[in-house]
Amino acid sequence: MIPVKGFSGQKVAVLGLGRSGLTTVRALRAGGAEPICWDDNPAARETAEGEGFSCVDLRSHGVFEDIAALIVSPGIPHLYPAPNPVVTAAQEAGVPVDNDIGLFFRSFAGPEWNNYDTPPRVIAVTGSNGKSTTAALIHHILTEAGRASQLAGNIGRGVLDIDPGGDGSVVVLELSSYQTELARALTPDVAVFTNLSPDHLDRHGGMGGYFAAKRRLFAEGGPDRAVIGIDEPEGAFLAGQLAEGPTDDRVIRISVARKLTGPGWQVFARKGFLSEYRKGRQAGAIDLREIKGLPGAHNHQNACSAYAACRALGLAPRVIESALHSFPGLPHRSQIIAEADGITYVNDSKATNVDSAIKALSAFGKIRWICGGLEKEGGLDALSEALDQVVRAYVIGREAAEFAMRLKADAMVCTTMAEAVKQAMADALPGETVLLAPAAASFDQYDNFEQRGDDFATEVKSRLAKG
């Protein structure tokens, strides 16, 4: 655990007692603070009280008179679409509002670091798509290279739940826009921006607010090195803002859309080959085509980002290449769950928006596509650019019929996962891929995308077992 510094002997309010909230309360107490907790869920309050923490309704009048700070869990809005009343009350009382990410960055370093040969490093990864895979891939590469590494944030453990940094160790954080938008301290050694596409727009008041939340990772303190995907205008703009000139190798530009040239530091992938150029000369190259855990251009972008981050820490290209080949991929993200009779079954339940579904569809050949669910804002029109390889769509969800009508593809309304898998498996031919890439949220039928992906995997394996 990382004890929170700076609040010893002071009361600190914590709003939200989920995984990160409860960990925050423990870390505050470990640092000598007196945490005051609240969650609208009685069961969450009961859990906190069972550990000896005080729960006080933070909506009560005058509660912030002697509070030093309010720590807010990621899912609680502080501005858009409307601020939580507790956040408003804290701001009116002049109480600083922060989150566990901000507490981590102010508390991670310790006096023992003066005795280390190599101080601990933090790599933080943000973006719209691919950040989980990129963060996990960086962690995997570091571990395979013999570097002590911990994976935390929006993946793995909560940031305050990890072990203190050791000599030469690395913490890899996946950070969502919900986490970066509010943290009062953001000082990673290496920061990664994968890409940007519309998501969570109601929470951020539009695309500009969404980009601004991501940009804070690079603006609040500033990393020593920034790895920036420049295939969207926002990424290109961010790289331009951070670099002092064409030769500034503190910025590593990433692309899977084109070859990058110039005197700076670039990593790009074309036709399945990753290339690193520095000062106009090639410094490394990797054939990504046979790496099963990283199929498709979107995963090649993840590989470029992870490669660049690890190169920024001094790892050799061949060490990184070896680790890429042993990367198993993440559950629910282009995860191959079975191969039988020449047919490949892939679970990409994490493809919860149109952009991520397009990337999944572009990674395979002839596809039997299982899609549908709770549609996000923005519609489905953009999917048309990736439907050439779709033989047929099998649509699930409560609004499956309406979803199917808007697809510019041969579509079958199945409603349930069981029916979709049954029909797709019956139709699939050797050389084809049965792909779950919903392009929608899961909450109309499932608690989360993991449950949806598990249901798909269970149905596929059950039917394969029956022959």
Which residue ranges make up the annotated binding site for ATP? 127-133
Nearest to 172 by CA among 309, 307, 300, 299: 309
Angle between helices 19-30 and 42-50 (to 10 degrees): 30
User: Cis omega (within 30 of 0) on the bond before 430?
Assistant: no
CB-CB contact of 397 with 415 (8 Å): yes
Beta strand extents in 80-201 (DSSP E only): 97-98, 121-126, 149-153, 170-174, 190-193
CB-CB contact of 24 with 81 (8 Å): no
- Other Cβ atoms within 10 Å of 42 Cβ, number: 9
- Other Cβ atoms within 10 Å of 462 Cβ, number: 11
CA distances in angstroms from 318 to 141, 223, 326, listed in the order given: 11, 26, 13
Task: Tell me the binding residues.
Answer: 127-133
Q: Please name the residue ranges forming H helices in 167-224.
A: 177-180, 201-204, 207-219
Taking the C-alpha atoms of residue 454 and residue 417, their distance in angstroms, rounded to an integer, is 11
Taking the C-alpha atoms of residue 346 and residue 369, their distance in angstroms, rounded to an integer, is 10
The Cβ-side half-sphere exposure at 170, using a 13 Å CA radius, reads 27
CB-CB contact of 430 with 365 (8 Å): no
Q: First CA to last CA across the chain, in angstroms? A: 49
- Residue 186 backbone dihedrals phi, psi, to 5 degrees: -140, 95
Structure-token pair, residue 91: 């701001």
Taking the C-alpha atoms of residue 421 and residue 427, their distance in angstroms, rounded to an integer, is 10
